[in-house]
Structure 1
Amino acid sequence: MNACERVVVLDSNNQPIGTAVKSEVHTTDTPYHLAFSCYVLSDKGDVLLTRRALSKATWPGVWTNSFCGHPGPGEEIPAAIRRRAQQELGLEGLYGIEEVLPTYSYRAVDSSGIVEHEFCPVYIARIDATSTPQPATTEVDSFGWATPAELAAAVDATGFAFSPWMVDQLRHRRLREALGCLR
């Protein structure tokens, strides 16, 4: 990650009002800012899950959706999704990027006191069977694939083992439908 990477700070109407240095924005008083979450589906329809690196400042070692990120100033979210897929997971060739929860936002506080406070549209994307994640160890400890039914059952039964944003996102019927959890 570039030390000068910036995130887009938003007002309460989700309109840009400035930028902040990404490495400095997440504190105990994090400003509301733009992000995204992405769920990657294989050709078979399985969902890629990642376990956050143990060195992460927030939610280390927690299982979560495929990846998240922050679009830079002026960067379209689909371009940011492709960039983060490559940076975080070594994945090229995402296709079928689809916005599923366009107005999703959340606020969560990690046990360290650091706050996530994001307007965070949720996307799904697809990857072909020849692509194998090669995660950056600073971002991802491990990864695995789950059927949509397995993911839904695990989150419903043991939500504490997953990131709070993923648990909350999966409460939305639209996301479960898009992932194939409700078939």
Structure 2
Amino acid sequence: MVTVGDVAGAVTGNGEVLAVVDEDDQPVDQAARSRVHEEALRHRAVHVLLSDGEGQMWLQKRSQGKRTYPGRWTSSASGHVPVED
């Protein structure tokens, strides 16, 4: 089965550029995704949580190949907001 994370990783790769933002979500810089994570820079991300009518949450399991939190359960869909958005 292919997950949303697998598709997003294949599309963006390691060259993804993210907006670095201040505490008011105003862009102050741009940086490679790897640098943003290595230096714990504030950036934009989106998480979607899906549930059914009975309150059950739909989650996805992260790939074992992920650098951070491999094999862990995470939100239904998630991703970074590219600098262009």
Query: Normalising by structure 1, what TM-score?
Result: 0.35
- Residue from 35, 56, 59 that aligns with 2:66: 56
Q: Which residue of structure 2 aligns with residue 14 of structure 1?
A: 25
The 5-angstrom pairing of residues 18-33 of structure 1 reads 18-27=29-38, 29-33=39-43
Q: What count of residue pairs does the alignment treat as equivalent?
A: 74
Are 2:45 and 1:35 equivalent residues in the alignment? yes
Q: Which residue of structure 2 aligns with residue 73 of structure 1?
A: 83
Which ranges of structure 2 fall in alignment gaps of 5 or more residues?
1-11
Which ranges of structure 1 fall in alignment gaps of 5 or more residues?
76-183
The 5-angstrom pairing of residues 1-183 of structure 1 reads 1-27=12-38, 29-41=39-51, 46-75=56-85
SS at match of 1:56: coil
> Share of identical aligned residues, percent?
31
Coordinate RMSD, CA, aligned: 2.1
Highest RCO, 1 vs 2 (Cα 8 Å, sep ≥ 6): 2
SS at match of 1:33: coil
Q: 2: CA distance between counterparts of 1:23 and 1:40?
A: 28
Q: 1: CA distance between counterparts of 2:26 and 2:46?
A: 15
Q: 2: CA distance between counterparts of 1:44 and 1:19?
A: 42
Query: Normalising by structure 2, what TM-score?
Result: 0.69
- The CA deviation at 1:41 is 4.0
